[in-house]
Amino acid sequence: MASPQKENGYTAIANELLEKIIATGLNGTELAIMLLVLRKTYGYHKKQDEISLSQFTKAIPVSKMAICSSLKTLQLVKILILVKKGNSLKCSNLWAFNKNYDEWQLVKKTKLVKISTPTSKDFVTQLVKKTLHTKETIQKKIQKKGIFKKNTDLTIALTGFIEMRRKIKKPLTDRALDLAINKLKELSSGDIDLAIQIVDQSVLCNWQSFYALKQSSTNIVDTLKSYLAKAKKKNEYQKRMKLGDYNLMRVNSDMNDNEPNEYEDQTIKFLQDKTIQTKLSKYVRNK
């Protein structure tokens, strides 16, 4: 059982000084360093003593970086005095405790706390807040790139994809969203309906990116019918425009009769896919 006795040695500290030390508000490492300096000086009836960094690290169970930082703080507030900077090969730094507490500048300690840099957690929170996407920002990105025409359903689908990425803790940055929209364009060839299906597929499967739509035979036929219907509608529009039906032009202002029928191109490209051909053959045989 430990039984420390004053007869075996003690450090004499005036009660007035001890009360001021208690009221300093120093953190654990700073207080431990100050007590060590007091032990090495007052404990041996000295006003100053050579104390190496290794002595601090051996006596106080914190990192060397924390000790160096705390020593600088104690010097700044004038509680410790670096009397002489030592040479690591020959002698250590010469430290002294400043018992004149009227000279302590603890206000600087408060300022240090106020201007401290944010923690990594705070930085991540700020970063996430800056990269949140709303329906408005998604629509602007789509329109700015000129990939798809303004479409509410596509915006809602992309919003769901962004929310899914956020829930699996893989939030999209602005750059990542741009790349995702570019990939969506390539996979859908600019077809909004197909793009929505691709986005919904990724949301349903919790995928972090977009992939070609996994279509069943029935879905393929439905897609083909959709392409053919659009191609037929475009052909009909172009024919009626040549006859001067300007009422139709106002209703279908999104079409341009001077451009080739892109829906026919989509249909041809769709039918040239060997996977599509195989599934269509199975569909026909089953019928």
Mean pLDDT value of segment 15-35: 91
Query: What are the beta bridge partners of residue 84?
Result: 94
Whether residues 179 and 238 share a domain: the answer is no
- Does residue 196 fall inside a structural domain? yes
| Angstrom distance (rounded) from CA 82 to CA 54 | 16
Whether residues 143 and 109 share a domain: the answer is no
Whether residues 182 and 101 share a domain: the answer is no
> CB–CB of 233/262 below 8 Å?
no
pLDDT tens-digit profile of 155-212?
888 888 988 888 888 888 888 888 888 888 888 887 888 888 888 888 878 889 998 8
How much is the pLDDT for 272?
62
- Does residue 167 fall inside a structural domain? yes
| Angstrom distance (rounded) from CA 285 to CA 237 | 35
Whether residues 241 and 193 share a domain: the answer is no
Domain boundary among 114, 136, 168: 114
Q: What range defines the domain where residue 145 resides?
A: 127-205
Alpha carbon 193 to chain centroid distance? 32
Model confidence at 42, pLDDT cuts 50, 70, 90, reads very high
- Does residue 271 fall inside a structural domain? yes
pLDDT tens-digit profile of 148-157?
666 778 888 8
Whether residues 18 and 105 share a domain: the answer is yes
- Does residue 119 fall inside a structural domain? no
Neighbour-count burial for 204-240, b at 16+ CB within 10 Å, e otherwise:
eeeeeebeebebebeebbebbebbeebbeebeebbeb
- DSSP one-letter string for 35-96: HHHHHHHGGGT-SEEE--HHHHHHHS-S-HHHHHHHHHHHHHTTSEEEEEPPPTTT---EEE
32 closest CA partner among 19, 21, 42, 47: 21
- Does residue 101 fall inside a structural domain? yes
| Angstrom distance (rounded) from CA 108 to CA 104 | 9
Whether residues 35 and 103 share a domain: the answer is yes
Whether residues 103 and 20 share a domain: the answer is yes
Domain boundary among 180, 205, 230: 205
What residues contact residue 31 under an 8 Å CB cut-off, 6+ apart? Answer: 21, 24
- Does residue 189 fall inside a structural domain? yes
Whether residues 185 and 224 share a domain: the answer is no
- pTM here is 0.40
Whether residues 221 and 200 share a domain: the answer is no
Both structure tokens of 3: 């039984």
How much is the pLDDT for 15?
93
- Does residue 7 fall inside a structural domain? no
- Percent of the chain whose predicted confidence (pLDDT) is above 70: 59
Whether residues 20 and 51 share a domain: the answer is yes
How much is the pLDDT for 169?
87
Question: Residue 6, class by beta-carbon neighbours within 10 Å (0-12 exposed, 13-18 middle, 19+ buried)?
Answer: exposed
- Does residue 260 fall inside a structural domain? yes
Q: How many domains does the chain have?
A: 3
Give the domain CATH number at 28: 1.10.10.10
Domain boundary among 85, 114, 143: 114
Q: Look at 101-105, 213-217, 255-259 and tell me which has the smallest mean pLDDT.
A: 255-259
